[in-house]
Structure 1
């Protein structure tokens, strides 16, 4: 068994691909359009799907935003230098809404950023 991917619905595919690739350093692994059902799938990640879990960004052509709901939590990404990454993210206009620092009651250094659609991404210092 292997966890393959997590799917996020996005309102602007290009903006989301740019965020995950240029700001968080993922690679665009593959992308495909389904013209009959009017959606595009883009898979991004840090390595090949055969041995890495990736993100599936689903863009429904006729929808530009989604209600987050209250069940969704976040995805988590390990970072070599969380402070430098957060500076880079903020300089590019990203919403780092929880600055880097120790988690309450612990020593692990974390931060939180929102992607262009408002999804929470936890950054964890490796």
Structure 2
């Protein structure tokens, strides 16, 4: 068994694809429309689905936002240059709401950023 993907509902598919591909360096792996049920799926990630866990972005046509609730935590991405990626994200208008620095009580350097729909992403220095 292996973890295949995590699904996030998004209010603007192109905006989300741009965020994850241009700002976080993922690749758009595949995209499909379901005209009968009025939704579009886009699978993005750092490698092909047969060997990597990916994100499934689901756009339900006509839905521009979601109540994220209080159960969702975050996804985590390992990065080589956490300070550089955070500077790049902020320069492109992304909200880095926890600046890079050591985790409380430890040495691991982390930061937190929000995607365009408000989902939290933890960046962890590799």
Structure 2 distance, partners of 1:115, 1:95, is 8
C-alpha deviations, 1:43-77, integer Å up to 9, x for none?
Answer: 00000000000000000002100001000000000
Instruction: Provide the aligned length of Structure 1 versus Structure 2.
Output: 126
Report the counterpart of residue 52 of structure 1 in structure 2.
52
Alignment of 1:1-126 (within 5 A): 1-126=1-126
CA RMSD of aligned residues (A): 0.3
TM-score by length of 2: 1.00
CA shift for structure 1 position 32: 0.1
Moved segments of 4+, more than 2 Å: none
SS in 1 for 2:55: strand
SS in 2 for 1:73: coil
Structure 2 distance, partners of 1:68, 1:62, is 17
Q: Provide structure 2 residue ranges, at least 5 long, that are not aligned to the other structure.
A: none
Q: Provide structure 1 residue ranges, at least 5 long, that are not aligned to the other structure.
A: none
